[in-house]
A = this chain, B = another copy of it.
Amino acid sequence: MIQKLIANIKKTNAPIVVGLDPMLSYVPEQVQKKAYAEFGETLEGAAEAIWQFNKEIIDHTYDLIPAVKPQVAMYEQFGVPGMAAFKKTVDYCKEKGLVVIGDIKRGDIGSTSAAYATGHLGRVQIGSKSYVPFDEDFVTVNPYLGSDGVNPFIDVCKEEKKGLFILVKTSNPSSGEFQDQLIDGKPLYELVGERVAQWGESCMGEEYSYIGAVVGATYPEMGKALRKIMPKSYILVPGYGAQGGKGKDLVHFFNEDGLGAIVNSSRGIIAAYKQEAYAKFGPEHFGEASRAAVEAMVADISSALESR
């Protein structure tokens, strides 16, 4: 799957991923109204609204982008119907040829991580039949429990040719509270980065491993250090746009080959129509606003990469 991700990035010339994190407050009124008319102001109605919102954005951007990253929390908050909307979104994006990174940040003791890996990347056996429950291409994993929390995910990735992005240094303001603590003079995130590089060694695609890392755009200096620690790991970079990261902050997350990183923007793309820069599209044409925001993001990152 890392090869498909890289092929998609080369084809679109866009090392970006659109975060499909649909808060109801981002969904234009006409989309909500239509969903509630059919399903009522219910969990089912909200699930329909976010699914229709996603679909419109995907339809307007899929030819420009290599991948999407639905954040499962935004679906889980609408209970079981929300999880059904998550699954619909995953399937639709795959139909459109996109790589789907499930932002699930799971991680547990061995047997439990194995169940998560089965549910999100693998197949589950039921009697004589087997099923692919959520079937993302990559998922994000929390490493706090150590190797035996991560290995079951790696095992499923090997079987199913899928991949991981393991949290190393997250984009949020308080990420340093534990992740930056020094251990023999070295921050915890570097220690985790070294383990990611090790885990990745036995999981190579061609130039890159299918075991990648998450490093926030908001910490460019740390990104530079981690790029060297994990030369073969793809880095998923959240925090661009709404969280404060800019194209010029991101160049050191990439390798010299122009590959090795993929930058996520969520709000900045999916709620673009709410920004002054794209207000001309209006809520009726929110999909077109998202398309314009994708084009601007690609231009920003490309020009930063070209001028380095």
Residues of chain A in range 82-121 having any CB-CB distance to chain B below 8 Å = 82-84, 87, 105-113, 115-116, 118-120
Given A77-B116, A181-B188: A144 and B143 interface contact (C-beta under 8 Å)? yes
Flag if B131 contacts A145 (CB, 8 Å): no
User: By the criterion CB–CB under 8 Å, are A126 and B43 in contact?
Assistant: yes
Contacts of A112 in B (CB 8 A): 21, 71, 73-74
Count of chain A residues with Cβ under 8 Å from any Cβ of B? Answer: 73
Q: Chain B residues near A74 (CB, 8 Å)?
A: 112, 115
Asked whether any CB of chain B lies closer than 8 Å to the CB of A175, the reply is: yes
CA distance A143 to B181 in the complex (A): 14
Contact A115 to B173, CB < 8 A, known contacts A41-B126, A131-B42: no
- CB pair B105–A178 under 8 Å, yes or no, is no
Residues of B within 8 A of A129 (CB): 41-42
Task: From B23, B174, B181, give the contact of A183 (CB < 8 A).
Answer: B181
- A73 adjacent to B119 (CB under 8 Å): yes
CA distance A115 to B131 in the complex (A): 28
Q: Is A142 an interface residue (CB 8 A)?
A: yes
Residues on B with C-beta less than 8 A from A108 are 71, 73, 105
